[in-house]
């Protein structure tokens, strides 16, 4: 005993102690211990109180106040551990998972709260005893505050020390269950509550009113949801409030808040996913906001209001509150104003909703952009979310990986990729007008498209007409780009107007004050905002690298189109060209303009020639029986220097036509002295009618087809060699071209005496019932012959190959001398030595593709980056 005293007392005091006082101390102490035991385990029996108080006084007399306090608190702690905590946890032991029944939960809380209340009463007795001993000398509240704080600390530490691992989850589960219940009540779609219809109707009104007030941008939470609605009507919220309060008093403040916060967030997340879904045609942001107002905020509001009533507990628990706890003590709202805490909750919830929706949309951004014009509400939503959260980089990363995985693969057609690229530009332009993120997203697409051969062709097709070229492409694609050309034109006009009108200082000031810095994510290397104006055409051209290539490709396509025209109708081409001129500049479209001009000139000249030729040589050229008169003859006269290289094949046109050609050119020579015409006989179109005994069939074909079929008028069977000689084309070309007539069932092919020499026979009169099932009588078929995709204009690659063949000899000679050479060296050597006509002006890439061609022809070999002659 002395030891224990010495631990708390000064040793000098120990010396002064007489035997009597020691006796007294021992007696009081034993009495105190016994009374404590009876008090704490007495199951509500406070009858030992006075006795207890006297012992306390006795000990205090000897300065043992701190000892008795420690002893009493220790006893409280042990008792609480035994009676409270263990019993409390035992309630949950039965449940392995987290689905604890509501009742069990309530009972457990009730029980432990009762125990705690009793212990607090006991503590109060001690406090009173100490107060009565020290009356006047101390501020009476000191004991109370100090002791209760210590008690609270020991309660929570006991509980925390024995905390089962799954208790937080149990809490979470509980709140989740209650929220769901609440949501069904609030949603009004499942009125299992006892409330009558009026109340439901009231719900709806409130919701509407709240949405309305949200739109007006104010936070009139309390106006919308009259205080006490839950307190009066809803047992549920009261229960929850009670649970929260009990848990707080047990020291689970932060855990509880975590639990209901995470329950609310999870619930919100589920709701967002539910509302957002996979439909991008409607905006969901407003309804999500409305829902936040209607359910979780109401819940919190009621909860906080409920807790706000029980101030006495707060003062106890506030000392224990973690600084990180989500609800600071200012949280308990006044009755009439929206509390700061509630506003804070609203902001948190909305941020979370924005973020969830944003993540959801970002993961689906690829699909959203695929159906872009329809999905613009989703894009708008995403824009708002991103403005709020600022997580643009997430969008960029996720979208780029989606692109790589889903779009930039060998299986995707270039047209689809381009279409998606255009949609991406349009969609991201909405989200981010400065184009910073677009730049990042567009980069991989551009890189990929540069590696595709048909990119330029597809772009040009899209620019000029959407439906041409590939029939699989939706007409939208091309239209959209042509639209873009138009739009661009309008913009430029507007810009021009702006410049004229607002060059004064005032406008300059307005412009200056409207300036905004680039977003932080902007890459400073990529220039300032002005240069980054989002311009779809510009970005498309950016894929190709230079507009020259694009213009070149356009020229080839235009040539193809113009040469196949049999009327001189070029209105659409003129329109497109004008638009392109606005965008690419007049000078780069010069050649195309000359081409169109040739067509216009041809029309005039053609009319002129035909008018004068019929006058002069009417009598001489009475070609009635041959059926070819000048009336049916037209010509397109081109300025060949300005057209792409044209593949001219030799062809002997039928005699009467040949006569027409020479008449025509003679007349041209007379009118336009000293200019002459050079016929490109294999080009053009012929519309002809095959007249059989029982029917007539019309075709639109190339001159070579016409020449072939006309040979069969006099002689119904030809060998391929003879026929080739007659029309003046090589046999292999003839064999290819004649397939057209064979496929139409006009001619039949059979193996002749010589296996190399096929025999073609006219199928007179027996075709109709066979191949063209329904063609009976004189049904006119109008078929365009250009089905084989044989173009009369050399493609850009063909031209390049042709130009490069000049250097083949140089390269082979070089390699004979040097053995092996790297690409660079070949390039440089050619540049050095091929300065004569034609000078070597190709790029390294062009040379490389040519050399690759030679390798595949097995003329060269490529090993470790060096080219060798193939032995």
Which residue among 686, 738, 821, 851 contacts other proteins (CB under 8 A)?
686
Which residue among 391, 398, 698, 795 contacts other proteins (CB under 8 A)?
698
Residue with tokens 């600084």: 323
Which residue among 266, 270, 661, 725 contacts other proteins (CB under 8 A)?
661
Order the strands of the 866-869 sheet from edge to edge.
Answer: 820-822, 866-869, 860-863
Query: Is 388 among the residues that bind other proteins (CB under 8 A)?
Result: no
Site string for other proteins, 752-771 (x = CB under 8 A): ----------x-x-------
* Closest among 91, 103, 80 to 164, alpha carbons compared: 91
Is 603:625 a contact under the CB 8 Å cutoff? Answer: no
Q: Which is nearer to other proteins, 485 or 677 (CB)?
A: 677
Is 656:629 a contact under the CB 8 Å cutoff? Answer: no
Q: Which is nearer to other proteins, 518 or 593 (CB)?
A: 593
* Closest among 350, 342, 346, 358 to 276, alpha carbons compared: 358
Q: Which is nearer to other proteins, 508 or 678 (CB)?
A: 678
Give the binding-site size for other proteins (rule: CB under 8 A): 57
* Residue 651 C-beta: closest distance to other proteins, Å: 11
* Residue 607 C-beta: closest distance to other proteins, Å: 14
Instruction: Tell me how far apart the alpha carbons of residues 768 and 772 are, in angstroms, rounded to a whole number.
Output: 6
Q: Which is nearer to other proteins, 457 or 681 (CB)?
A: 681
Query: Is 703 among the residues that bind other proteins (CB under 8 A)?
Result: yes
Q: Which is nearer to other proteins, 241 or 703 (CB)?
A: 703
Query: Which letter does DSSP use for residue 190 in this model?
Result: S
Order the strands of the 758-762 sheet from edge to edge.
Answer: 717-719, 758-762, 747-751
Q: Which is nearer to other proteins, 133 or 692 (CB)?
A: 692
* Residue 776 C-beta: closest distance to other proteins, Å: 18
Instruction: Tell me how far apart the alpha carbons of residues 531 and 523 are, in angstroms, rounded to a whole number.
Output: 13
Instruction: Tell me how far apart the alpha carbons of residues 749 and 731 are, in angstroms, rounded to a whole number.
Output: 14
Which residue among 222, 634, 663, 768 contacts other proteins (CB under 8 A)?
634
Q: How remote is the C-alpha of 695 from its chain's centroid? A: 59
* Closest among 194, 121, 348, 191 to 257, alpha carbons compared: 348
Which residue among 469, 665, 814, 827 contacts other proteins (CB under 8 A)?
665
Task: Find the DSSP H helices in 432-474.
Answer: 436-450, 455-464
Query: Is 684 among the residues that bind other proteins (CB under 8 A)?
Result: yes
SS3 409: coil
Which residue among 706, 723, 724, 738 contacts other proteins (CB under 8 A)?
706
* Residue 817 C-beta: closest distance to other proteins, Å: 34
Which residue among 130, 485, 709, 811 contacts other proteins (CB under 8 A)?
709
Q: Which is nearer to other proteins, 68 or 596 (CB)?
A: 596
Instruction: Tell me how far apart the alpha carbons of residues 859 and 871 are, in angstroms, rounded to a whole number.
Output: 8
Query: Is 806 among the residues that bind other proteins (CB under 8 A)?
Result: no
* Residue 767 C-beta: closest distance to other proteins, Å: 11
What is the H or E stretch that residue 761 is in?
strand 758-762
Task: Determine if the peptide bond prior to 581 is cis (ω within 30°).
Answer: no
Tell me the window of 177-185, 349-357, 372-380, 668-676 that interacts with other proteins (CB under 8 A): 668-676
Pairing state of beta strands 820-822 and 860-863?
Answer: unpaired
Query: Is 650 among the residues that bind other proteins (CB under 8 A)?
Result: no
Q: Which is nearer to other proteins, 716 or 852 (CB)?
A: 716
Which residue among 566, 650, 769, 828 contacts other proteins (CB under 8 A)?
566
What is the H or E stretch that residue 713 is in?
none
Query: Which letter does DSSP use for residue 858 in this model?
Result: T
Query: Is 786 among the residues that bind other proteins (CB under 8 A)?
Result: no
Query: Is 99 among the residues that bind other proteins (CB under 8 A)?
Result: no
* Residue 689 C-beta: closest distance to other proteins, Å: 4
Query: Is 772 among the residues that bind other proteins (CB under 8 A)?
Result: no
Check the CA dihedral 93-98-104-107 and report its sign. Answer: positive
* Residue 469 C-beta: closest distance to other proteins, Å: 22
Q: Which is nearer to other proteins, 359 or 663 (CB)?
A: 663
Which residue among 223, 523, 689, 824 contacts other proteins (CB under 8 A)?
689
Which residue among 109, 365, 431, 638 contacts other proteins (CB under 8 A)?
638
Instruction: Tell me how far apart the alpha carbons of residues 51 and 94 are, in angstroms, rounded to a whole number.
Output: 42
SS3 820: strand
Query: Is 559 among the residues that bind other proteins (CB under 8 A)?
Result: no
Q: Which is nearer to other proteins, 4 or 761 (CB)?
A: 761
Instruction: Tell me how far apart the alpha carbons of residues 108 and 172 are, in angstroms, rounded to a whole number.
Output: 16
Whole-number Cα distances in Å, 549 to 397, 658, 790: 31, 38, 22
* Residue 721 C-beta: closest distance to other proteins, Å: 22
Tell me the window of 149-157, 262-270, 712-720, 723-731 that interacts with other proteins (CB under 8 A): 712-720
Which residue among 676, 771, 802, 870 contacts other proteins (CB under 8 A)?
676
Residues 529-537: contacts with CB within 8 Å, 24+ apart? 529/434, 532/434, 532/435, 532/436, 532/439, 533/435, 534/425, 534/429, 534/433, 534/434, 534/435, 534/438, 535/488, 536/422, 536/425, 536/426, 536/481, 536/484, 537/481, 537/484, 537/485, 537/488, 537/583
Instruction: Tell me how far apart the alpha carbons of residues 13 and 64 are, in angstroms, rounded to a whole number.
Output: 12
Whole-number Cα distances in Å, 757 to 719, 728, 753, 761: 6, 16, 7, 13
What is the H or E stretch that residue 720 is in?
helix 720-727
Task: Find the DSSP H helices in 42-139.
Answer: 49-61, 65-79, 86-93, 102-133
* Residue 373 C-beta: closest distance to other proteins, Å: 40
Instruction: Tell me how far apart the alpha carbons of residues 712 and 726 are, in angstroms, rounded to a whole number.
Output: 11
* Residue 695 C-beta: closest distance to other proteins, Å: 11
Tokens of 626: 């041959």
Query: Which letter does DSSP use for residue 164 in this model?
Result: -
Query: Is 316 among the residues that bind other proteins (CB under 8 A)?
Result: no
What is the H or E stretch that residue 465 is in?
none
Q: Which residues pair with 700 in a beta bridge?
A: 687, 784
Q: Which is nearer to other proteins, 287 or 659 (CB)?
A: 659
Q: Which is nearer to other proteins, 275 or 746 (CB)?
A: 746
Is 236:303 a contact under the CB 8 Å cutoff? Answer: no
Q: Which is nearer to other proteins, 486 or 614 (CB)?
A: 614
Which residue among 486, 507, 639, 761 contacts other proteins (CB under 8 A)?
639
Query: Which letter does DSSP use for residue 639 in this model?
Result: -
* Residue 563 C-beta: closest distance to other proteins, Å: 6
Tell me the window of 86-94, 313-321, 534-542, 663-671 that interacts with other proteins (CB under 8 A): 663-671
Query: Is 685 among the residues that bind other proteins (CB under 8 A)?
Result: yes
Query: Is 56 among the residues that bind other proteins (CB under 8 A)?
Result: no
Q: Which residues in 571-630 contact other proteins (CB under 8 A)?
A: 590, 593-594, 597, 601, 627-628
Q: Which residues pair with 751 in a beta bridge?
A: 758
* Residue 653 C-beta: closest distance to other proteins, Å: 8
Q: Which is nearer to other proteins, 246 or 634 (CB)?
A: 634
Query: Is 716 among the residues that bind other proteins (CB under 8 A)?
Result: yes
Which residue among 56, 683, 723, 727 contacts other proteins (CB under 8 A)?
683
* Residue 675 C-beta: closest distance to other proteins, Å: 5
Tell me which residues touch other proteins (CB under 8 A).
563, 565-566, 590, 593-594, 597, 601, 627-628, 632-643, 657, 660-661, 664-665, 668, 672, 674-681, 683-692, 698, 703, 706, 709-710, 712-713, 716, 762, 764
């Amino acid at each position: 005993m002395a030891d224990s005293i010495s631990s708390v007392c000064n040793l000098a005091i120990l010396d002064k102690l007489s035997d009597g006082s020691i006796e007294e101390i021992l007696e009081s102490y034993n009495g105190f211990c016994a009374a404590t035991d009876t008090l704490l385990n007495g199951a509500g029996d406070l009858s030992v109180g006075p006795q207890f108080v006297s012992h306390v006084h006795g000990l205090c007399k000897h300065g043992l106040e701190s000892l008795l306090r420690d002893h009493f608190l220790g006893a409280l702690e042990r008792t609480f551990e035994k009676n409270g905590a263990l019993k409390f946890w035992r309630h949950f032991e039965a449940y392995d998972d987290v689905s604890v029944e509501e009742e069990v939960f309530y009972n457990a809380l009730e029980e432990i709260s009762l125990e705690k209340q009793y212990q607090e009463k006991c503590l109060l007795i001690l406090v009173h005893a100490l107060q009565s001993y020290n009356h006047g000398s101390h501020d009476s509240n000191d004991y109370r505050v100090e002791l209760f704080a210590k008690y609270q600390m020991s309660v929570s530490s006991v509980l925390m020390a024995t905390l089962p691992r799954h208790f937080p989850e149990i809490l979470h589960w509980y709140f989740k269950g209650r929220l769901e219940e609440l949501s069904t009540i609030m949603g009004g779609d499942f009125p299992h509550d006892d409330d009558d219809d009026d109340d439901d109707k009231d719900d709806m009104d409130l919701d509407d009113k709240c949405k309305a007030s949200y739109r007006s941008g104010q936070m009139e939470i309390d106006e919308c949801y009259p205080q006490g609605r839950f307190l009066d009507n809803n047992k549920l919220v009261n229960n929850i409030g009670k649970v929260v309060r009990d848990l707080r008093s047990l020291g689970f403040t932060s855990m509880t808040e975590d639990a209901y916060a995470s329950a609310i967030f999870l619930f919100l997340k589920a709701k967002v996913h539910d509302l957002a879904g996979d439909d991008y045609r409607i905006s969901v942001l407003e309804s999500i906001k409305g829902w936040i107002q209607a359910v979780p905020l109401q819940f919190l509001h009621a909860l906080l209001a409920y807790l706000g009533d029980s101030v006495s507990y707060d003062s106890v628990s506030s000392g224990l509150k973690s600084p990180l706890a989500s609800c600071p003590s200012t949280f308990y709202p006044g009755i009439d104003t929206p509390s700061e805490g509630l506003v804070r909750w609203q902001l948190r919830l909305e941020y979370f909703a924005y973020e969830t929706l944003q993540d959801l949309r970002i993961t689906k951004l690829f699909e959203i952009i695929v159906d872009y014009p329809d999905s613009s509400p989703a894009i708008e939503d995403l824009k708002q979310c991103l403005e709020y959260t600022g997580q643009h980089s997430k969008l960029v990363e996720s979208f780029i990986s989606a692109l790589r995985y889903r779009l930039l693969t060998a299986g995707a057609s270039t047209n689809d990729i381009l279409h998606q690229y255009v949609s991406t530009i349009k969609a991201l332009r909405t989200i981010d007008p400065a184009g910073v993120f677009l730049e990042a997203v567009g980069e991989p697409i551009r890189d990929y498209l540069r590696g595709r051969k048909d990119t330029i062709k597809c772009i040009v097709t899209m620019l000029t007409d959407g439906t041409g070229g590939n029939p699989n492409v939706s007409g939208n694609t091309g239209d959209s780009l042509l639209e873009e050309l138009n739009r661009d034109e309008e913009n430029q006009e507007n810009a021009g107007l702006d410049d004229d009108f607002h060059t004064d200082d005032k406008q300059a000031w307005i412009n200056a004050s409207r300036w905004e810095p680039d977003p932080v994510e902007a890459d400073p290397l990529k220039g300032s905002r002005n240069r980054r104006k989002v311009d779809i055409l510009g970005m498309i051209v950016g894929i190709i690298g230079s507009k020259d290539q694009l213009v070149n490709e356009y020229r080839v396509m235009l040539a193809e189109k113009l040469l196949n025209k049999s009327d001189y109708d070029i209105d659409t081409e003129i329109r497109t060209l004008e638009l392109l001129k606005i965008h690419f500049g007049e000078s780069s479209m010069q050649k195309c303009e000359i081409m169109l001009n040739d067509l216009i000139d041809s029309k005039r000249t053609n009319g002129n020639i035909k008018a004068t030729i019929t006058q002069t040589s009417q009598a001489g050229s009475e070609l009635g029986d041959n059926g070819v008169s000048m009336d049916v003859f037209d010509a397109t006269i081109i300025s060949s220097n300005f057209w792409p290289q044209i593949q001219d094949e030799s062809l002997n046109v039928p005699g009467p036509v040949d006569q027409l050609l020479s008449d025509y050119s003679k007349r041209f020579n007379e009118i336009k002295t000293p200019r002459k015409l050079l016929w490109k006989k294999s080009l053009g179109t012929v519309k002809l009618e095959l007249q059989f005994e029982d029917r007539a069939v019309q075709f639109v074909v190339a001159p070579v087809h016409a020449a072939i079929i006309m040979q069969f008028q006099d002689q119904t069977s030809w060998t391929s060699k003879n026929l080739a000689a007659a029309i003046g084309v090589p046999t292999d070309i003839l064999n290819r071209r004649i397939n057209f007539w064979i496929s139409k069932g006009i001619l039949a092919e059979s193996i002749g005496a010589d296996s190399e020499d096929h025999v073609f026979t006219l199928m007179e009169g027996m075709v109709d019932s066979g191949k063209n099932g329904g063609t009976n009588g004189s049904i006119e078929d109008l078929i365009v012959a250009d089905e084989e995709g044989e173009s009369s204009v050399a493609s850009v690659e063909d031209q390049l190959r042709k130009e490069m063949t000049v250097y083949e000899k140089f390269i082979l000679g070089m390699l004979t001398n040097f053995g092996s050479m790297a690409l660079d060296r070949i390039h440089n050597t050619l540049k050095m030595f091929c300065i004569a006509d034609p000078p070597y002006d190709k790029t390294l890439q062009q040379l490389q593709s040519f050399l690759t061609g030679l390798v595949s022809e097995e003329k060269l070999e490529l090993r470790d980056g060096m080219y060798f002659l193939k032995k």
